[in-house]
């Protein structure tokens, strides 16, 4: 029972030993709400295909009605409207307040034997919407994966900064002890002790800020993976820098480009529907109905329950053609609108290609710069270490000042931070390049050491 409670208590916590880069990306894709939204939109689009296919089915209408009403009919015509109820039969000689029962029951079937491809175009349009929704889901997954990978690297960078800042605090406290002893022996002025305490406070402030950065980065990743992030595994991300990417442009398989191409296809599918809408509509129709009335042709009534049941019937079979002449101009204008939409979507595609190409160039520049920094940081780190040790030794010997020691310590701490973040800078550049090319597979594989 205790094990069950422990499992429940830690169900929302991501283990520090268990969360690798690959797992962070996978959990983000599985759990982040925006991915679920995209999936449901794709499901709705898939259902739209089935809806479009129902247009091939014949239209069947059934009607049954009963009423009690007067039978005062007159000659004349009314324009089509929905207020005055229609009435059949010859006109009466004079109005009467008497009423009779009336009833009706009927079945009407209509079917289009051919439509010049209109219904197929509607199904194709629904299919294009489904494809676009599915590609939007893939693009959303990729965006979430990229965000999770970036947050993962941010955590590593913040944790490396914490390590360097911690070492800086320890050195500052060690110098504070040395200065305190010298001041107590009246070999150094009391101002040096105050300066040493100030340097410790500054180093501790830097450490607090670094820890805060870690907490914020973990919160960002936790939002994506759907659970508290205790820690992450660096794998090969801190061991070595990856090689440069050879890609020069974003491939057509990039999720964003594929989705945008699908958007263009959707507009073209709507244009095809409009092209097919200019043809006449042909229908085979069949109707059968029966009516009942308590009124006679001689203007007398049968009385009682006569008219509640149908007592006259008709049937008919016909072929009709409907051609909306006035709709042609409307269809033309709608076609012009869709043409403008197509040009808009094509322009968006061109803009995406331009942006991705620029992003790839920036990523390559970031990798090259970070790789150069990584090459010189060992030299800078060793020089700062020697400088800090010499400044401390000179201070002990009375040949240096506290200002020189403090400056040397700051330079060494910054050099350690730069050295720790240099390789991560190369990895971040590679991540940006992977995002621009539309695939994180190579990035994740290299992070695992494959």
pLDDT digits (tens, 9 = 90+) for 46-78: 888 887 778 778 888 888 999 888 888 888 888
Cβ contacts of residue 431 below 8 Å, gap of 6+?
146, 149, 150, 153, 363, 440, 443
Q: Helix/strand/coil (H, E, C) string of the chain?
A: CHHHHHHHHCCCEECCCCCCHHHHHHHHHHHCHHHHHHHHHHHHHHHHHHHHHHHHCCEEEEEEEEEEEECCCCCCCCCCCCCCCCCCCCCCCCCCCCEEEEEEEEEEEEECCCCCCHHHHHHHHHHHHHHHHHHHHHHHHHHHHHHHHHHHHHHHHHHHHHHHHHHHHHHHHHHHHHHHHHHHCCCCCHHHHHHHHHHHHHHHHHHHHHHHHHHHHHHHHHHHHCCEECCCCCCCCCCCCCCCCCCCCCCCCCHHHHHHHHHHHHHHHHHHHHHHCCCCEEEEEEEEEEEEECECCCCCECCCCCCCCCCEEEEEEEEEEECCCCHHHHHHHHHHHHHHHHHHHHHHHHHHHHHHHHHHHHHHHHHHHHHHHHHHHHHHHHHHHHHHHHHHHHHHCCCCCHHHHHHHHHHHHHHHHHHHHHHHHHHHHHHHHHHHHCCCHHHHHHHHCC
Residue 282 dihedral angles phi and psi, to the nearest 5°: -110, 140
Report the run of H or E that residue 101 belongs to, with start and end: strand 99-111
Would 301 be classed as within a structural domain?
yes
Would 316 be classed as within a structural domain?
yes
Which position has the token pair 């050491």?
449
Packing angle, helices 255-276 and 118-184, rounded to 10:
160
pLDDT of residue 17: 52
pLDDT of residue 242: 67
d(CA 221, CA 158): 13
**What is the domain count for the chain?**
2
221 shares its domain with 296: no
Segments of the chain with pLDDT less than 70: 1-18, 240-249, 450
In the chain, what is the straight-line distance between the N-terminal and C-terminal CA atoms, in Å?
A: 41
Would 5 be classed as within a structural domain?
no
Would 6 be classed as within a structural domain?
no
- The structure's pTM equals 0.78
Single out the residue in 322, 342, 374 at which a domain terminates. 322
Q: What CATH number corresponds to the domain at position 438? A: 1.20.1600.10
289 shares its domain with 361: no
Would 314 be classed as within a structural domain?
yes
pLDDT of residue 406: 83
Would 103 be classed as within a structural domain?
yes
Cβ–Cβ < 8 Å for 232, 19: yes
Residue 11 dihedral angles phi and psi, to the nearest 5°: -65, -25
274 shares its domain with 285: no
Q: Which domain holds residue 267?
A: 12-56+117-280+325-448
95 shares its domain with 130: no
126 shares its domain with 208: yes
46 shares its domain with 180: yes
Would 441 be classed as within a structural domain?
yes
pLDDT of residue 402: 80
pLDDT of residue 266: 93
Which position has the token pair 């009927």?
106
439 shares its domain with 365: yes
Would 203 be classed as within a structural domain?
yes
pLDDT of residue 241: 67
Packing angle, helices 190-225 and 21-31, rounded to 10:
50
pLDDT of residue 15: 43
232 shares its domain with 184: yes
265 shares its domain with 386: yes
pLDDT of residue 16: 40
191 shares its domain with 158: yes
Rg (C-alpha) for the chain, rounded Å, is 40
102 shares its domain with 173: no
Distance of CA 149 to the CA centre of its chain: 16
426 shares its domain with 391: yes
Kindly give the pairing relationship between strand 99-111 and strand 281-293.
antiparallel
d(CA 294, CA 300): 9
């Amino acid at each position: 029972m205790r094990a069950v409670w422990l499992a429940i208590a830690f169900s929302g916590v991501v283990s520090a030993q268990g969360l690798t880069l690959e797992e962070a990306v996978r959990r983000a894709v599985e759990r982040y709400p925006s991915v679920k939204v995209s999936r449901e939109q794709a499901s709705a689009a898939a259902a739209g295909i089935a809806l479009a296919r129902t247009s091939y089915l014949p239209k069947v209408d059934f009607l049954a009605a009963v009423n009690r009403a007067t039978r005062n009919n007159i000659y004349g015509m009314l324009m089509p409207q929905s207020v005055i109820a229609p009435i059949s039969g010859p006109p009466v000689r004079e109005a009467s307040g008497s009423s009779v029962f009336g009833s009706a029951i009927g079945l009407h079937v209509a079917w289009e034997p051919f439509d010049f491809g209109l219904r197929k175009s509607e199904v194709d349009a629904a299919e294009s919407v489904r494809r676009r929704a599915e590609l939007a889901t893939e693009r959303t997954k990729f965006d979430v994966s990229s965000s999770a990978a970036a947050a993962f690297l941010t955590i590593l960078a913040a944790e490396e900064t914490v390590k360097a800042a911690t070492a800086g605090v320890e050195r500052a406290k060690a110098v504070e002890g040395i200065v305190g002893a010298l001041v107590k022996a009246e070999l150094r002025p009391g101002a040096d002790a105050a300066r040493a305490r100030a340097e410790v406070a500054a180093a501790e402030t830097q450490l607090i800020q670094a820890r805060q950065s870690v907490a914020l980065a973990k919160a960002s990743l936790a939002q994506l993976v759907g659970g508290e992030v205790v820690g992450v595994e660096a794998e090969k991300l801190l061991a070595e820098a990856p090689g440069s990417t050879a890609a020069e442009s974003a491939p057509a398989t990039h999720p964003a480009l594929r989705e945008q191409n699908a958007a263009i296809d959707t507009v073209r599918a709507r244009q095809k529907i409009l092209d097919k809408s200019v043809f006449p509509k042909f229908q085979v129709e069949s109707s059968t109905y029966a009516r009942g009335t308590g009124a006679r042709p001689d203007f007398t009534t049968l009385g009682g329950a006569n008219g509640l049941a149908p007592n006259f019937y008709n049937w008919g079979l016909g072929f009709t053609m409907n051609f909306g002449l006035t709709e042609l101009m409307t269809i033309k204008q709608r076609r012009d609108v869709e043409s403008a939409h197509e040009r808009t979507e094509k322009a968006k595609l061109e803009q995406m290609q331009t942006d991705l190409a620029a992003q790839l160039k920036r990523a390559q520049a970031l990798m090259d710069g970070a790789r150069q920094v990584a090459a010189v940081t060992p030299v800078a780190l060793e020089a700062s270490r020697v400088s800090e040790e010499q400044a401390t030794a000179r201070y002990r010997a009375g040949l240096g000042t506290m200002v020189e020691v403090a400056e040397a310590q700051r330079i060494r701490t910054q050099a350690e931070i730069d050295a720790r973040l240099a390789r991560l800078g190369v990895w971040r550049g590679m991540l940006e390049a992977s995002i621009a090319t539309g695939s994180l597979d190579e990035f994740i594989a290299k992070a695992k050491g494959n």
